[in-house]
Amino acid sequence: MKLKPRIKLVISLVLSILLIFPTALLAESAVDYEGHYAEDSIKELFEKSIITGYVDGSFRPDREISRAEFMAIVNRAFNFNEEAEIDFADVKEREWHYEHVARAVKAGYIKGFTDGTMRPTANISR
């Protein structure tokens, strides 16, 4: 089947826009902390790879963080890399935070709850 030149052009333009537009959105959302009172500290932590932000490129500086996010930050800040054997009912090997929980337990700064859970997705309290 032969496509007309005009249809080829339209398809090419649409594909180009689809490739470019998400990149533009990421670039814009990556600085969602601009003007925030902690902007300088956030930049410094990004530069040191202690914080990474979210997969969509945002950071969300005023959002609460989960226990798992807290563990990831502490592990990176103190270079905790050794992992303990863990068996929490709510932490599965396939989850992004599994290794961070194992490192936190090995480092000894966090423990699970008496019911055998870690509650990694619960927000951390002060």
Residue by residue, DSSP assigns 39-62 as: HHHHHHHHHTTS----TTS---TT
- Whole-angstrom CA distances from 26 to 51, 55, 105 are 17, 9, 34
Output the pTM of the full model: 0.71
**pLDDT band for position 125 (50/70/90)?**
confident
CA distance 9 to 118: 54
Confidence class for position 25, pLDDT limits 50, 70, 90:
very low
What pLDDT, on the 0 to 100 scale, is given for residue 3? 57
Amino acid symbol at 72: A
Question: Quick check: helix, strand or coil at residue 96?
Answer: coil
What are 26-72's pLDDT values in tens digits? 444 448 999 999 999 999 999 999 998 888 888 999 999 999 999 99
pLDDT on residue 51: 92
According to the model, what pLDDT value does residue 1 have? 53
